[in-house]
Amino acid sequence: MTVRALSVASEAVPLIKTGGLGDVAGALPAALAPHDVAVTTLLPGYPSVLRALPGAKAVHKWAGLLGSPARLLAHDELLILDAPGLFDREGSPYTDNAGHDWPDNWRRFAAFGRAAADIAGGAVKGREFDLLHAHDWQAGMAPAYLRFAPRKAAKQPVPSVMTIHNIAFQGHYPAHTFPALGLPAAAWAVDGVEYHGGVGFLKAGLESAWAVTTVSPTYAREIGTPEFGMGLDGLIASRGETVTGIVNGIDTAEWDPGADPQLAANYTVRTLARRSANKRALEAEFGLDPGDGPLFVVISRLTWQKGMDVLLEAIEHLVWLGGRLALLGAGDAALEAGFHAIAARHPGRIGVRTGYDEVLAHRMQAGGDAILVPSRFEPCGLTQLYALRYGCVPVVARTGGLADTVIDANLAALSSGVATGILFGGANPQTLKDALDRTVALWSRPADWRTVQRAGMKQDFSWGRSGAAYAALYRRLIASAAG
């Protein structure tokens, strides 16, 4: 029997993306199709999304969706919530052009959750769903509406899954917003939507969903602890075995060094020698001195979470070791300024590009020798998966999905040929410097370095296993709902 799942996300490639959430939500339909799961994705009607889908047709209307008229547009396996009063504004999905959160984000994404629950509950004629899958806080109210204010038309309870892509972002709003949500008084409770005297969108989803997933097994364990749970560790721990970790996959057709049109030279695990042309091209692109020493790359948001302040403190050591660095990223203004300042002190050794450029990211993965990911916490991470695919050796903190996807090049792993990168414990300057020492030492042994590169390139991080895991979870929940 085909499972019909409604995936509810505030972004999904190729239509809208600000981070990994967009990649995952965009990949799920294709990942689940081989497992007889038909996924329909619900997105907000941002201007860019509506412009990309001029042929979308209206299939449902709300006279007042939390105070705003709205239409539901359909385009193939996409549903778009067209609510101009909520989403017809330029800027990012969550902030204005100055980077400030929209003050009505609580209403925008509560309405999004209400619409999702209506759709999953049978509000739209000819659109029936067996399960709702909500992603991050922006969709967190959908399971809460299904639980506390389900549509009477629903034939049986609709099971729901809540996926945490990053527990640091929770969607917490003042108590005075609760009366406008259209929820019964019973929802204002510790085991409902109330959280520290306000409304917690992610918390509401975690309390209400039938199952909770996150994007790696290690992160699933970490968020049940005070160090990583961001205040929700008690709730996560209380959900017990209903919390699971499923590692994200990557699009292996989009990220394929053997066929990537963005590269100076294509190569495979059998033709690694061709990779050097990409290194030469990357050196020229970033204005770096050409050479045979290790070329490190960073492709990251420049934030505390990503450990970029730690990297700033360790860069002088990287240069002292004979390394060079090409960095692409944007984020905290002080960190941006810090990286530009140190690049000015080391011309030809450090090159910095501010912003994000997907095409350049491909070239960096193909031209860099090693990629640095010193995150303080990392739910899954996609950068290191792309790096493994491209033979760019990951040097990563031992946390979350980084720990689940990179095998440390210790003596045992090297001797058995399974090592794929360098892991270090705790994101601080000294542990990162030690990791750089280990990386350069490994680089000085070309045979070992090539063995690590090849082992990484042979790893399978396609969506095959992850898709199967989601499909199995969906079927268990649907069977439970049927009694």
pLDDT digits (tens, 9 = 90+) for 129-143: 999 999 999 999 999
β-pairing, 160-164 vs 131-135, is parallel
Q: Which two tokens stand for residue 3?
A: 């499972």
Dump pLDDT digits (tens) for 41-100. 999 999 999 999 999 999 999 999 999 999 999 999 999 999 999 999 988 899 998 889
Q: How far is CA 307 from the centre of its chain?
A: 17
Q: Are 6 and 120 in contact (CB under 8 A)?
A: yes
β-pairing, 194-195 vs 198-200, is antiparallel
Q: Are 306 and 275 in contact (CB under 8 A)?
A: no
Supply the mean pLDDT for the chain.
96
Q: Where in the chain is the domain with CATH 3.40.50.2000?
A: 3-249+463-482, 272-457
Q: How far is CA 229 from the centre of its chain?
A: 17
Phi then psi dihedrals of residue 318, to 5 deg: -60, -45
72: exposed, middle or buried (C-beta count within 10 Å: 0-12, 13-18, 19+)?
buried
CA dist 243 and 238 (Å) reads: 9
351 closest CA partner among 412, 419, 283, 411: 283
Task: Tell me the β-bridge partners of 67.
Answer: none
CA dist 302 and 372 (Å) reads: 13
Q: What is the pLDDT of residue 91?
A: 83
CA dist 172 and 183 (Å) reads: 17
Please determine, for residue 426, whether its predicted confidence score (pLDDT) is greater than 90.
no
Q: Are 130 and 154 in contact (CB under 8 A)?
A: no
Dump pLDDT digits (tens) for 300-345. 999 999 999 999 999 999 999 999 999 999 999 999 999 999 999 9
Q: If pLDDT is split at 50, 70 and 90, which confidence band does 153 have? A: low
For residue 206, the surrounding DSSP H or E stretch is helix 201-208
Q: If pLDDT is split at 50, 70 and 90, which confidence band does 154 have? A: low
CA dist 272 and 139 (Å) reads: 43
Please determine, for residue 483, whether its predicted confidence score (pLDDT) is greater than 80.
no
Phi then psi dihedrals of residue 83, to 5 deg: -130, 90
Question: Is domain 272-457 annotated with CATH 1.10.760.10?
Answer: no
The owner of tokens 């505390």 is 304
Q: What is the pLDDT of residue 56?
A: 95
Question: Reduced to 3 states, what is the DSSP secondary structure of residue 467?
Answer: helix
Q: Which two tokens stand for residue 309?
A: 């302040």
Q: What is the pLDDT of residue 177?
A: 98
Rg of the chain in Å (alpha carbons): 23
Q: Are 364 and 282 in contact (CB under 8 A)?
A: yes
Dump pLDDT digits (tens) for 448-472. 999 999 999 999 999 999 999 999 9
Q: Are 474 and 5 in contact (CB under 8 A)?
A: yes
CATH number for the domain formed by residue range(s) 3-249+463-482: 3.40.50.2000
Q: What is the pLDDT of residue 1?
A: 87
Q: What is the pLDDT of residue 97?
A: 86
CA dist 298 and 308 (Å) reads: 10
State the pTM of this model.
0.93
- Residues 144-173 have a mean pLDDT of 90
Please determine, for residue 356, whether its predicted confidence score (pLDDT) is greater than 90.
no
Could you give the C-alpha distances from 469 to 53, 247, 262, 450, 454, in angstroms and in order?
31, 10, 32, 32, 27
Q: What is the pLDDT of residue 151?
A: 76
Asked whether the CA dihedral 172, 177, 182, 186 is positive or negative, the reply is: positive
Please determine, for residue 118, whether its predicted confidence score (pLDDT) is greater than 70.
yes
Q: Are 300 and 383 in contact (CB under 8 A)?
A: yes
Question: Reduced to 3 states, what is the DSSP secondary structure of residue 212?
Answer: strand
85: exposed, middle or buried (C-beta count within 10 Å: 0-12, 13-18, 19+)?
middle
Q: Are 323 and 442 in contact (CB under 8 A)?
A: no
Question: Reduced to 3 states, what is the DSSP secondary structure of residue 267?
Answer: coil
Dump pLDDT digits (tens) for 178-211. 999 999 999 999 999 999 999 999 999 999 999 9
CA angle 304, 308, 311 (to 5 degrees): 140
- Residues 15-39 have a mean pLDDT of 94
Q: Are 61 and 72 in contact (CB under 8 A)?
A: yes
Q: How many CB atoms lie within 10 A of CB 482?
A: 10
Could you give the C-alpha distances from 136 to 24, 164, 369, 396, in angstroms and in order?
12, 5, 34, 25
- Residues 363-377 have a mean pLDDT of 98
Q: If pLDDT is split at 50, 70 and 90, which confidence band does 156 have? A: confident
